Structure 1
Amino acid sequence: MVPYLRFVSASSEWVVRCAPLIRGGGRVLDVACGTGRHTRFLIQAGFQVEAVDRDVSTLSILSGAVIRQADLEGEAWPYSAGEFDGIVVTNYLHRPLFCRLFEALAAGGVLIYETFSEGNEWLGRPRNPDYLLKSGELLDLIKGQLEVNAYEELCVFENNRAVVQRVCAIKTKK
């Protein structure tokens, strides 16, 4: 895992820690990629990356990735079953997408997910309970779908303080 350490400052520590579980050189989807911080990290780590967000205007200078503009909450899901060896989602929660994420993973594919949890409303945004996981909810969403490799529910002190839940899970079924 040593080669990944130089990217820690730009990327979530969770993504950096879990990314080596994704098949080397595999296809990875960065969901709700924002400015592309994880897209850049994943490209530099040797993955084939597709970045998707409803606003991709800041990604035009990003080379080495397929960029897709899509409103994942208001449009049809644009991906096929078993298409990705890894899916990364950070700081984004739209509960109806979970079944699509599970389906888009190939057998042996890795889901790396990290987002805000209850308690975060005391530290900053988001504060809306619709965008905050309830305690243990991320595990409940994954139960029976993927095999959990690692899970954390904690307050992090990376860029800003936040209360988060994180999971790294593997699709063992076809």
Structure 2
Amino acid sequence: MQAIEPTVETEAISGWLRRWAPLIPGGEVLDLACGAGRHARHLVSLGHPVIALDHDPEMLEKAAGTGITTSLVDLEAPGAVWPFAPGRFAGIVVTNYLHRPLLDAMVASLAPDGVLLYETFAEGNEQFGKPSNPKFLLKEGEMLSWAVQQGLRVVAYEDGRVEQPKAALVQRICAVRPDFPRLAALLPTF
């Protein structure tokens, strides 16, 4: 039997994103390094207008759709600057991408009650394949430490092994800006 390659239609939404995206208040959401747009489409289904940003025009073509504005930007190019104003986004979503020089500007673009959903690979992932370059792997506790330094309130954090869509070591966080209301009714139950 031949394995099925993931496509836009079959690639699953991150369970982390599915669980925590309902916390994002009304407003525009940035899907940073959006790839083919699986998360952008999910966020639109939750009622958010989405900016889907990626450096690959072919991926952006796949990501385009109703409620999604695509943005072709290579944030790692020499001289590249963060293109968004402070306080612009109700939510920022990042999966499987790490470029540390962006982190401060990215958090500054969250609205005062905004939500950050971030998950990416961690040290030790090299045992499962790529990415294996330390430049693209979070150090132990790095994401948690970084969120606290940014003044974010951590709602949920995990650091460990996942099996889907493939075995990997990841860190993932749901963190909110200080003005996010601390209401139990907003949080999903465990």
State whether TM-score is above 0.5. Answer: yes
Q: 1:163 aligns with which of 162, 169, 187?
A: 169
Give, in angstroms, the shift of residue 44 of structure 1: 1.4
Task: Provide runs of 4+ in structure 1 moved above 3 Å.
Answer: none
1:38-117 matched pairs, under 5 angstroms: 38-61=39-62, 62-64=64-66, 65-74=68-77, 75-117=80-122
Q: Give the structure 2 partner of residue 4 of structure 1.
A: none
Shift of 1:8: 10
Hey, what does 2:158 align to over in structure 1?
Answer: 152
Q: Is the 8 A contact 1:27 1:48 kept in 2?
A: yes
Give 2:175's aligned amino acid. Answer: A
Report the 3-state secondary structure (helix = DSSP H, G, I; strand = E; otherwise coil) of the residue aligned with 1:67.
Answer: strand
SS at match of 1:143: helix
AA at the equivalent of 2:72: Q
Equivalent position to 1:123, from 91, 113, 128? 128
Shift of residue 173, structure 1, vs aligned partner? 5.7
Contact 2:60 2:72 in 1 (8 A): no
Which residue does 2:3 correspond to in 1?
A: none
Q: 1 CA distance for matches of 2:39 and 2:51?
A: 11
Give the C-alpha shift of residue 16 in structure 1: 0.6
Aligned equivalents of 1:154, 1:137: Cα separation in 2: 13
Give the unaligned 5+ runs of structure 1. 1-6
Matched, 1:33 2:34: yes
One-letter amino acid of the structure 1 residue matched with residue 164 of structure 2: E
- Please point out which of 15, 18, 24 is paired with 1:16: 18
Query: Greater Rg, structure 1 or structure 2?
Result: 2
Aligned-partner SS, 1:155: strand
Deviation at 1:144, TM superposition (A): 3.1
Q: TM-score, normalised by structure 2?
A: 0.83
Shift of residue 60, structure 1, vs aligned partner: 2.3
> CA-to-partner distance for each residue in 1:5-51, whole Å, 9 max, x for gaps?
xx996211001111011013x21000011111111111112111000
Amino acid across the alignment from 1:161: A
**Percent of aligned positions with the same letter in both sequences?**
49
5+ residue gaps in structure 2?
A: 1-8, 181-190
TM-score (ref. length: structure 1): 0.91
Range that drifts further, 68-77 or 163-172: 68-77
Distance 1:103 1:10 in 2: 29
What do you get for the CA RMSD once the two structures are aligned? Answer: 1.8
Q: Is the 8 A contact 2:53 2:60 kept in 1?
A: no
Cα–Cα, structure 1 residues 56 and 141, in superposed 2: closer, same or farther, change >3 Å?
Answer: same
